């Protein structure tokens, strides 16, 4: 981690809520309303969600959550890096932290939904760089051209990471 600390946090905490509201505003200005899948603050306190913030002192630099889908599958939700902290490794540190937690919890796969438009290109590059590959919709997501779905199979004891990579599938 380049600096700061990642820890479980309360999304209702005012400075955290402020960053989450910027995340939601970004999603709503770059995606048609029916395809905005970012979670509202109250949904992030659900028991199936573990919410984290990345702080440098009192400054909130990023947020992310890991949502339990089933015994073998988790989802990354609400990833957002404060504009002033972009390009400093905060997003990658959060992704790495969530993947380590997913492995610790025994998940075999971690998936995510993000936008397919140009505004989301940095996010897709971050996830691709972390090993995620395109997949089809999962959980209750619709098949829509406004979403990009990515997944990463996680290695277990005795498996190599290469043997767990999901085959590439083009978006339709």
- Alpha-carbon distance of 152 to 146, in angstroms, equals 20
Question: Is residue 65 a part of any domain in this protein?
Answer: yes
Q: Indicate if the pLDDT at residue 157 is higher than 80.
A: no
Query: Residue with structure tokens 């390009």?
Result: 87
Predicted local distance difference test score (pLDDT) of residue 172: 35
* Domain region containing 150: 5-164
Question: Is residue 60 a part of any domain in this protein?
Answer: yes
Domain count, the chain: 1
Question: Is residue 170 a part of any domain in this protein?
Answer: no
Question: Is residue 169 a part of any domain in this protein?
Answer: no
Mean pLDDT over each residue of the chain, to the nearest integer: 89
Question: Is residue 93 a part of any domain in this protein?
Answer: yes
Question: Is residue 45 a part of any domain in this protein?
Answer: yes
Q: Are 110 and 144 in contact (CB under 8 A)?
A: no
Predicted local distance difference test score (pLDDT) of residue 35: 83
Closest CA to 164 of 101, 95, 72, 76: 72
* Residues 13-40 pLDDT 10s: 999 999 999 998 888 888 888 888 888 8
Q: What is the CATH number of the domain that holds 45?
A: 3.40.630.30
- Alpha-carbon distance of 9 to 6, in angstroms, equals 9
Question: Is residue 111 a part of any domain in this protein?
Answer: yes
Where residue 73 falls among pLDDT bands split at 50, 70, 90?
very high
Question: Is residue 171 a part of any domain in this protein?
Answer: no
* Residues 81-105 pLDDT 10s: 999 999 999 999 999 999 999 999 9
- Alpha-carbon distance of 120 to 103, in angstroms, equals 26
Read off the pTM.
Answer: 0.87
108-147 in b/e form (b: 16+ CB < 10 A) is bbbbbbbbbbeebeebbebbeebbbbbbeebeeeeebebb
């Amino acid at each position: 981690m380049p600096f700061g600390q990642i820890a479980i946090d309360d999304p209702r905490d005012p400075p955290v809520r402020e960053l989450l509201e910027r995340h939601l505003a970004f999603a709503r200005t770059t995606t048609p309303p029916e395809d905005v899948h970012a979670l509202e603050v109250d949904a992030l306190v659900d028991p199936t969600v573990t919410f984290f913030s990345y702080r440098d002192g009192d400054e909130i630099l990023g947020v992310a959550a890991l949502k339990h889908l089933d015994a073998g599958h988790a989802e990354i939700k609400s990833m957002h890096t404060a504009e002033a902290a972009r390009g400093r490794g905060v997003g990658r540190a959060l992704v790495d932290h969530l993947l380590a937690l997913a492995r610790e919890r025994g998940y075999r796969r971690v998936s995510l939904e993000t936008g397919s438009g140009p505004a989301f290109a940095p996010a897709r590059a971050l996830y691709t760089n972390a090993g995620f590959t395109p997949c089809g919709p999962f959980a209750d997501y619709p098949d829509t051209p406004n979403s990009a779905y990515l997944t990463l199979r996680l290695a277990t004891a005795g498996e190599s990471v290469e043997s767990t990579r999901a085959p590439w599938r083009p978006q339709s």
